[in-house]
Structure 1
């Protein structure tokens, strides 16, 4: 009496409801799910409250990145320092320690990029044309890599744990092994790389950047006579206004797709299923690209980006949220599958919110950093005894910061 495949149809409907759920934040539990009721998640389970403010950096904070185990957060700043914070996975109004474990000061220039190795034992940072590798257990500098000629704009540890890839405005993408030894260099690629990401399945590398059009005079034997030079004696190479997203086959280095885009491209992130690339695109747009069908799947609008580097990310149980900073001091959250703007989160002070990062283990926690010199950790409001308990913690530099190298604040609620 029941039509064939009716049960599978109902199961697909349940999955469809999860994908359409505006604030989906609950893991799938077959034992508790039912085909007799519609799926819905409470808005109160979404991380939209600031529970921690970290105020140690003395200048703009440009980037943040979670460790793979979700217990530590790294930050990069214009103040020429990177920091490793212990945040922990705990949630709720309980005792907690939020510790600044290490300040990584040996940077002669502002720090722009961060990336954790797969086992979280190494943190790579970049400043200008240099890459630094740090031991995350001791906070000591392991090695400095100097093979790029211009600003290093992206650092990506490979998902299989075999090494690191770096991209630069010098039109090079370089592969390094775990010891920081150069393995392979893709030279003279078509763009000055502003960001890049590797798909978790190790099939593709997606790079974004600015076009490069060397003048015909470069063919001369004496290049110095062909190019204008600035006051530092460095050649001033003309840039093409063309911006591109390029999808490479990771094993062969061959181009699978190269797409011209009108605005500047500042960030690219890949979904956990390797299907989608999220690209920050000026002015004021974020593009979602389908990497299997090679098409633009959706645009997200509302945030402000016209002058600064803004880095967005995926978030939630099934990467069902898109989160981005903005030049208007706010954090924006959209539903990935519908494009609906869900939240505009206020709290940061002056300037841009430059980067956001979702915790890989606690799916109800993410971090943001800003020109206001702070990092904010966002979590869901927590109910305790019918009351909402929210942790508010400010970690500030102590007078003995330089001597001790760390700060610890314990909060009991």
Structure 2
């Protein structure tokens, strides 16, 4: 089987729908052993789901193992430690460290002053890095103590990632534009306009106090020295960054409707992928498949989009989620035939490759009409396959 481009190798059928969250689900992350899935929601909870290990999807069960409720705000990020013992969550400016087995909150970190938009563990498990809209990038040890910092950077960080080979930190975001104080503050000497002057609006009315639009950047740092290797200015807000397992490629979402594949070694854009929408919300994408040859992304139209990495071909548009955005997708690190997606419809979907006798291929497309989930339940759905 040519797993690099054959649609039949892609997990494109929903086998389970997870329904416990009471509001939009914003982010998901698999444990490194592939047995658990963490989800972050607008309902101020994070859930650790146990994913059944049965070989037949029709027999697989999922259940909420732990519901982590002690968040004062909506939960935006989740990140597993390398040994899966600790789960990090972020809620506004706070970071919480949880014992992933007991559900006990080990520590709450409040070094950020604005929303924490990114959490990622170091490849060796010795600590983790956080990034926020306060322009801070902080390095923590595995106990939650600050080890180092990039200080106040020039960019409001929307996401960041560390390359698996431990060489680079890649961050995306927008530069900081200081708010312009009202005119009366200038008159009384309480403020200073730091934005560049704007001559006029064209109709004679002054717009000198209108701030400029922020510019969007991808910045690559040498991880050991913390020195900037390169910075690339890009049009459109950047909302997600993933690095391939071989540390060569960076994948980021760019509004309103593109995903960019960047060659980190060559320092150049490889290709643009189009089709999905992301005009208003944070949408996340990922690599997937045996060799990372699939690229998967959510979209504001409620669908999941699938491309072939090396050709850029759009392979599938997967429907099933309800109204609203599909916010994040995550590929199971131990099962190349499974990924998950989460949505504004309050649910998480598990997608798998169907049994070969459960569908027919016609001109490269599958007949999904008889593969709908047989029912919905709180925390688990058993998929009954025809012919299984």
Match of 1:259 in 2: 232
Residues 1:153 and 2:126 aligned together: no
Q: 1:391 to 1:347 in 2, by over 3 A?
A: closer
Consecutive unaligned residues of structure 1, counting only runs of 5 or more, are 1-16, 24-42, 218-223, 229-236, 398-406
Match of 2:198 in 1: none
CA positional deviation for 1:305: 1.1
CA positional deviation for 1:283: 1.3
Residues 1:108 and 2:72 aligned together: yes
TM score, norm. by length of structure 1: 0.80
Residues 1:52 and 2:25 aligned together: no
Residues 1:280 and 2:261 aligned together: no
1:391, 1:97 → 2: CA distance?
A: 16
Query: 1:299-318, CA deviations, whole angstroms, 9 ceiling, x for partnerless residues?
Result: 00011111110000000000
Residues 1:392 and 2:373 aligned together: yes
**Does structure 1 conserve the Cα–Cα contact (< 8 Å) formed by 2:253 and 2:260?**
yes
Given the alignment, which residue of 287, 292, 295 partners 1:322? 295
CA positional deviation for 1:409: 7.2
1:282, 1:56 → 2: CA distance?
A: 30
Q: 1:57 to 1:394 in 2, by over 3 A?
A: farther
CA positional deviation for 1:90: 3.2
Partner-residue secondary structure (3-state), 2:215: strand
Q: 1:395 to 1:139 in 2, by over 3 A?
A: farther
Q: 1:177 to 1:339 in 2, by over 3 A?
A: same
CA positional deviation for 1:89: 3.9
Query: 1:34-88, CA deviations, whole angstroms, 9 ceiling, x for partnerless residues?
Result: xxxxxxxxx3332000000001111000001000000100000000000000113
Match of 2:191 in 1: 226
Match of 1:82 in 2: 46
Match of 1:128 in 2: 92
1:384, 1:133 → 2: CA distance?
A: 45
Given the alignment, which residue of 160, 167, 171 partners 2:131? 167
Q: 1:251 to 1:99 in 2, by over 3 A?
A: same
1:252, 1:55 → 2: CA distance?
A: 44
**Does structure 1 conserve the Cα–Cα contact (< 8 Å) formed by 2:93 and 2:110?**
yes
Match of 2:351 in 1: 378
**Does structure 1 conserve the Cα–Cα contact (< 8 Å) formed by 2:18 and 2:380?**
no
**Does structure 2 conserve the Cα–Cα contact (< 8 Å) formed by 1:54 and 1:394?**
no
2:12, 2:383 → 1: CA distance?
A: 21
CA positional deviation for 1:408: 6.8
2:166, 2:284 → 1: CA distance?
A: 22
Consecutive unaligned residues of structure 2, counting only runs of 5 or more, are 182-188, 194-209, 361-367
Q: How many residues align?
A: 354
